């Protein structure tokens, strides 16, 4: 079975631009969560979606938004990019939405210049 997939793998943007990151969960998984991992740090929770509804939001500005589609795939959007948004963006999926059983994708590495 395919695991969590994310696209693109790498992305380079400039300050002020907008970016969209995509995630496809494991088949049968209805929950998707997004995390930001800055180099040398642990992942930080951004959003969780379950059955297309937002279930939780971390301490991130409104420039960050996300949505989940009927097929349970998800997009993370970041507006007005800042240098500090450079990070590995991870998507995780689970069947029930419980954080202790989530599976992570390989991530999208975003570099903001």
**Given the rule CB under 8 A, which residues bind other proteins?**
4, 31, 33, 35, 40-45, 48, 55-56, 58, 90, 92, 94, 97-107, 109
Q: How far is the CB of 18 from other proteins (least distance, A)?
A: 24
List the one residue out of 53, 45, 3 whose CA is nearest residue 23: 3
Strand partners, 56: 48
Burial, 22: exposed, middle or buried (Cβ in 10 Å; 0-12, 13-18, 19+)?
middle
Q: How far is the CB of 64 from other proteins (least distance, A)?
A: 15
Ramachandran angles phi, psi of 95, nearest 5°: -75, -45
b/e burial code for range 95-109 (CB count within 10 A of at least 16 → b): eebeeeebebbebbb
Beta carbon nearer to other proteins, 17 or 111:
111
Q: How far is the CB of 46 from other proteins (least distance, A)?
A: 10
Q: How far is the CB of 23 from other proteins (least distance, A)?
A: 11
Beta carbon nearer to other proteins, 8 or 16:
8
CB atoms within 10 A of CB 68: 23
Beta carbon nearer to other proteins, 4 or 76:
4
Beta carbon nearer to other proteins, 75 or 88:
88
């Amino acid at each position: 079975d395919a695991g969590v997939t994310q696209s693109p793998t790498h992305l380079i943007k400039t300050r002020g631009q907008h970016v969209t990151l995509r995630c496809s969960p494991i088949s049968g998984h209805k929950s998707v969560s997004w995390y930001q991992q800055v180099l040398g740090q642990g992942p930080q929770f951004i959003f969780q979606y379950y059955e297309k509804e937002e279930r939780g939001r971390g301490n991130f500005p409104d420039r960050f938004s996300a949505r989940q589609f009927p097929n349970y795939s998800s997009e993370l959007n970041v507006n007005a990019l800042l240098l500090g948004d450079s990070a590995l963006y991870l998507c995780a999926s689970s069947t029930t939405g419980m954080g202790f059983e989530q599976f992570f994708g390989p991530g999208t590495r975003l570099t903001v210049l």
